Chain A
Amino acid sequence: MHKKQITVALSGLNNIDNPGPGIPVIRGIRESNMFEPRIIGLAYENLEPGTYMHNLVNKTYKVPYPSDGVDALIERIRYINDIEKIDVLIPNFDSELFTFMKSADILKKMGIATFLPTLKQFEERHKSNLPKFGKKYNVKVPFSIALTNINDIDNLTDDFEYPVVVKGKFYDANIAYSKEQALIYFNKISSKWGLPIIIQEFIKGIEVNVVALGDGKGNTIGAVPMRKQYITDKGKAWSGITLDNKNMLDLTHKIITDTQWCGGMELELIKTSENELYLIEINPRLPAWVYLAVGAGQNLPEALVNLAMGKFVKPFSNYEVGKMFIRYSYDMICNVDEFQELSINGTL
């Protein structure tokens, strides 16, 4: 089969103990029989491991943080595109999605395709908007409120019973068993990710997840449910297994159909002992464990690239149940010259 040469730029090369999805997405794209990809890494830090994985990433460019403003990031992308002629760009961090979604037309004019949720889809699934989302789409969600003032912690017992889950706008979640713990987590998370802080009702049950891809027309291109088998102290899956769970898939299809979801997504769910599913979060991108879906028979990164390029993608109809992933850490030996190159010139 003739493989199409494409250039894909993506972020999330931080393959660390709290990994970004970049490397697993690249592995999916590289394992595709349809593409001969050139992979361009977009790195925010000098020590994102993916930058140094030359078997996976052809070239990496440092990019400014989204907090530096849309213009700075887009100008950098324009510079990179002039050199690399990017076909598809896949942002893999929640925190940069807003910038890229707002700039989708500018990117399109540059000849760069994306396949991202709309701003409306992105906004309405925000943690702080989850109760409204649950009501609108008739999905069970835990009660939650968004706090912008630490003093509001004093009044939490008006609406909640401890324990509660204290969450950051983009990342981080901790279970607080008392007001004192809630105060600590409020400070810890807000200093890192800003405000608001989300206080969410604690639902007792097992956390299960679904990785899925919507085509933006209400169709689910693929969906694979998973249960974390081993969770790190950062709450990340170190091991997981694919599940045969119709309820989880039905819920995923319903959400994608009702929201007309466009792009990758991860549903974070709690399954109670009564087998009820509560939606606790929608991450608007493919998750770091997406390679499990590839291993189970659904190459969602490949499908996402095809959709971005305007190609028809036939929805996946099955996947292998009982497929597992186990992460591992691995020490790469690199030369300081490479580190220097990236630090000084912003490319490697």
Chain B
Amino acid sequence: MKNIIKLKTNIAISEKGFMFDPSTGDSYTVNAIGLEILGMIQQGKVFVEISDMITAKYDVEPSSFEQYFFDFIAVLKQMQLIENNDA
């Protein structure tokens, strides 16, 4: 859980949550919280840091957030938007 999750470097993410993978042409949208989490991932924050920030800001239990977070990461992996698979 201390591993840094790396988004593929060429992924473009707009302020409105539009993601574009220029190597495949695929595009995705994320909601506001997803966008916030992606921003933290891009800043190099690890899961514990992200969890602390999100659970402090929003009404969510750490255990629930952990489940949601790794579901989200699994989707990113499935979409091949993540560079390393160690997270």
Which B residues have a C-beta under 8 Å from some C-beta of A? 10, 12, 20, 22-25
Q: Is the CB of A244 within 8 A of B10?
A: yes
Cβ–Cβ < 8 Å partners of A229 in chain B = 25
**Cβ-Cβ contact count across A and B, 8 Å cutoff:** 24
Within 8 A of B (CB), among A229-265: 229, 240-245
CB A238 to nearest CB in B, in angstroms, measures 14
A interface residues, tally (CB under 8 Å): 14
Bound CA span A316–B70, Å: 43
Most A CB atoms within 10 A — which of B10, B20, B22?
B22
Q: Can you list 18 A-B pairs, Cβ within 8 angstroms, ordered by A?
A: A206-B24, A208-B25, A226-B25, A227-B25, A240-B25, A241-B25, A243-B22, A243-B24, A244-B10, A244-B23, A245-B22, A245-B23, A245-B24, A271-B24, A321-B22, A322-B12, A322-B20, A322-B22
CB B10 to nearest CB in A, in angstroms, measures 6
Bound CA span A321–B24, Å: 11
Bound CA span A98–B23, Å: 35
- Closest chain A residue to B10, Cβ basis: A244
- Closest chain A residue to B22, Cβ basis: A244
Cβ–Cβ < 8 Å partners of A245 in chain B = 22-24
Cβ–Cβ < 8 Å partners of A240 in chain B = 25
CB B6 to nearest CB in A, in angstroms, measures 17
CB A232 to nearest CB in B, in angstroms, measures 17
CB B33 to nearest CB in A, in angstroms, measures 25
CB A337 to nearest CB in B, in angstroms, measures 45
Q: Is the CB of A243 within 8 A of B23?
A: yes
Bound CA span A241–B21, Å: 11
- Closest chain B residue to A246, Cβ basis: B23
Report, nearest first, the 3 A-B pairs whose CB atoms are least far apart.
A227-B25, A244-B22, A241-B25
- Closest chain A residue to B20, Cβ basis: A322
